[in-house]
Structure 1
Amino acid sequence: MIKAIIFLVLICSSTLVKAEWFEVVGYASTQGRDTAQARQAAVQDAITQALIFSGATISSVQSIADGVLNQDEIKIKSHGEIQQVNLVSESHEGDNYSVTLHLDIYATHNQCAEQKFNKQIAITQSQLTQPHQARLGQIFDIAKSTSQRLFNTLNERTSTVKPIPYLNTINVREYFAQQFDYNPALIETIATNSNSQYVLLSQITDIAAMDKLNSDYAFWQSDEYARSFKIDFALYDALTYEKVWYQHYATRGVWPFEKTELIDVYSDKFWNTHYGQQIQEVFNKLSQDLNAAVSCIPTKGKILYLNDDQVVINLGRVHGLEPGTVLSIMHQSSIITNRGSVVNSTIQTIDQVKVISVNMQNATAINLNTRPLSNIQLNDIVQVKIKNEDNFSLHN
């Protein structure tokens, strides 16, 4: 039972708050952990997910004694404060430990309003930059298997990020070069095929075996090595082709297999090892960082069809739209730089449209102005318009 919780929270001084209940499931592996440590990791995972969904950014971790959360030294750069946490259930099945928490979170007036609208992100297949390093265990499919694992991680978590799988083999190396002379055509193709506002690219830069962990004199033990895992992520805005976020992650884990053993990187046997769980921890952190990077960015889409005062756009219910949602329109144009690269630019118009019907991936909207929609073209940009009213204050 969770006995006492103390949060150090940096919140705005506004007293206008709205209480919301969140029920979140946190997961952790028991590989390399005792029950108390697994419970700690699962509780941390659940609370972190809830805080991020409510608008918080995590900067440190919880402390748990004897498997019971009795103190929280977490530092939160937050617009929300947790008032109560209830442990609904916990279970231990195989190598997995899970807890379900019920959290009462008070969101303040200054919480980011954009985060209630979702952003679809195309998750592409990673690229292994040093294929020869995969010979140990013959794990040449690790780029594909980790990309699928990343998609599943993002898909299972509650956040403004809505992942779309795009696991075709692509060459991403130029998108991580310092010269930024990449071809935007790939970004455009992926975004169009997946109906995504962003494209996430990644490259695995190091999976080399490292030091032997057990002694040569312990001949009765199987050899165990430390193995590295380093990966770069770059997030591109599909409307402007700009790199809007970049992060490098590095970890290492125990590689418990014999040198000659062939390893199936899609199997539970691999993912339940210490090495596999360390990779999973990277993806858990990535999900937090990615959500923080895009949650307060306006949700944008394109005009797919235009007929007099009605437009069809590529945003829908999955993005958080509903009848009555207002969007502003921006003209889009392409500029060719002196280096021959393409830069997309937008010009804000005074035109606005209101959603009248919504499907999962698109919506129909009508002109809100008395003047006709002039000079509006296909592929012009629509942006969800955030009202300035007190969206997060309590109403009597």
Structure 2
Amino acid sequence: MMRNKLLACLLLLFSAPSLGIWYEAEGRAAIYSGDVASARERATQQAIQNALVLAGGTVTSLQEVAAGKIVNDQFEIRTAGTVRDVRVLSERRSGDTLFITIHADLFPQQLQCQNGRSRKSLLLTRFKVNDRINARTGSIDEIGLHTSQWLYDHLRAESLHSYPKRWLNEISTFNPSLYNNRSVVSPLLPLVVTEKTNTQLVLFAEIRDLSFNGDLPVRKWQQWLYSPPERNFELMVYLIDGISGELTLERSYRSKAPWEFKAEEAVALGSRQFWESAYGNAVSDVMSQLLTDIDTTLSCTPGRGRITHVRNDAVEVDIGVSNGIRVGDRLTLLHRAAHDGQDNQQHVRLLPTTVQLRITESYQNRAVARVTDPALLSGVQIHDLVELTGTL
């Protein structure tokens, strides 16, 4: 199984001309049908993205993150702007998985952001399986449950910029067609579920394609004559900020790999046999890329929360140590405002106020703060929004 693993080893090596910082990161990729070159490319791409995330970077595609051309054997990456140099330190193979370790020379003044330390609280829901007809082959109807659990577990273990607070074993009624504009006011569902679970963001996903490229062998003797058919996996993802209503990530992920199981076989999705198969590796590759994209997207997203209690001269907020909140951090009170745009859609804006709060106590999932100007305390109410605007 392929997983993103960021090495928490920051090498403070400065190059004289660039004053960049060298980051060490690892990427891994499954080897399909003996194609080591393709696995090397995917593992190196993942390692570079991991280094960018480790540095607090924002990158939506590898083609946007460096300048010039990096060539290693028959593999090259075209880049543009924030990565000066990449050096491959090691390459090793374990079974059908290739591991690449790199050093990347990054520019912290371009990559780091004010919210780089905060981890945004995230709600995951069970992925919806749209292609239910093809899901019958292999009896993988529950693949939405297993893939969403995979993502939840790996985000909790590996993510630098998100804190998966809840996983709901429920298929949502989210309608993506309502989001025809990234700044449109949030439909009710994301706003309600994030408020009820004290989270900032919610991730919905649909598995749209589980079809085969070619026919499955019908008779047992045919399975010895034909190569396993390729099976597709397509996942559509929507990551929504329930506080601002913004659609922060909308992306389709596709992969395919040989389906090595018998036509009539019921596959155990929780088994090592599935996840170590070619198709299971392809699915975990997709999930690992999604994990990286979530971290990249949230690396500079403002950390926000809600006021849950107001007492005397102090307030309590629903973000805490798990979100990277420390004693001494500063919060700004926000007001949500809506207005009609030229597209006849209603748009939402989060407006900062003059009310500043200072964290005095921080616990696992909550924190206590005091208004820096006590005269403004009367304007603070339960359900008001706050944003992390200053860190120690």
Same structural fold, with TM-score higher than 0.5 when normalized by the shorter chain: yes
- Indicate how the Cα distance of structure 1 residues 224 and 143 shifts in structure 2: closer, same or farther if over 3 A, else same: same
Q: Is the 8 A contact 1:234 1:247 kept in 2?
A: yes
- Indicate how the Cα distance of structure 1 residues 260 and 85 shifts in structure 2: closer, same or farther if over 3 A, else same: closer
Residue 66 of structure 2 aligns with which residue? Answer: none
Per-residue CA deviations over 1:342-385 (Å, capped at 9, x if unaligned) read 98764432110111221222211112125241221001011111
- Indicate how the Cα distance of structure 1 residues 40 and 242 shifts in structure 2: closer, same or farther if over 3 A, else same: closer
Q: Is the 8 A contact 2:201 2:242 kept in 1?
A: yes
Equivalent positions of 1:182-221 (< 5 A) are 184-212=187-215, 220-221=224-225
Q: Is the 8 A contact 2:87 2:102 kept in 1?
A: no
Q: What SS does the aligned partner of 1:108 have?
A: helix
Q: What SS does the aligned partner of 2:295 have?
A: helix
Equivalent positions of 1:132-147 (< 5 A) are 132-147=133-148
- Report the Cα distance in structure 2 between the residues aligned to 1:145 and 1:53, rounded to whole angstroms: 27
- Indicate how the Cα distance of structure 1 residues 270 and 17 shifts in structure 2: closer, same or farther if over 3 A, else same: same
Q: What SS does the aligned partner of 1:373 have?
A: helix
- Indicate how the Cα distance of structure 1 residues 40 and 139 shifts in structure 2: closer, same or farther if over 3 A, else same: same
Residue identity in the other structure for 1:211: G
Equivalent positions of 1:305-384 (< 5 A) are 305-332=309-336, 346-369=350-373, 371-384=375-388
Q: Is the 8 A contact 2:70 2:86 kept in 1?
A: no
1:235 aligns with 2:239: yes
- Report the Cα distance in structure 2 between the residues aligned to 1:316 and 1:381, rounded to whole angstroms: 15
Give the length in aligned residue pairs. 362
Per-residue CA deviations over 1:216-262 (Å, capped at 9, x if unaligned) read 99874355212121221112211134433311222322112221111
1:28 aligns with 2:29: yes
Residue 164 of structure 2 aligns with which residue? Answer: 163
Work out the percentage of aligned pairs sharing the same amino acid.
24
Q: Is the 8 A contact 1:17 1:108 kept in 2?
A: no
- Indicate how the Cα distance of structure 1 residues 335 and 166 shifts in structure 2: closer, same or farther if over 3 A, else same: farther
Q: What SS does the aligned partner of 1:112 have?
A: coil
- Report the Cα distance in structure 2 between the residues aligned to 1:178 and 1:44, rounded to whole angstroms: 30
Residue identity in the other structure for 1:209: F
TM-score (norm. length: structure 1): 0.77
Cα distance, 1:96 vs structure 2: 3.6
- Report the Cα distance in structure 2 between the residues aligned to 1:218 and 1:149, rounded to whole angstroms: 34
TM-score (norm. length: structure 2): 0.77
Equivalent positions of 1:1-396 (< 5 A) are 20=21, 22-33=23-34, 38=39, 41-54=42-55, 55-57=57-59, 58-60=61-63, 63-65=71-73, 73-78=77-82, 81-82=84-85, 86-87=89-90, 92-101=93-102, 105-108=106-109, 111-176=112-177, 184-212=187-215, 220-332=224-336, 346-369=350-373, 371-386=375-390
Please list every run of 5 or more consecutive structure 1 residues that lacks an aligned counterpart in the other structure: 1-14, 392-396
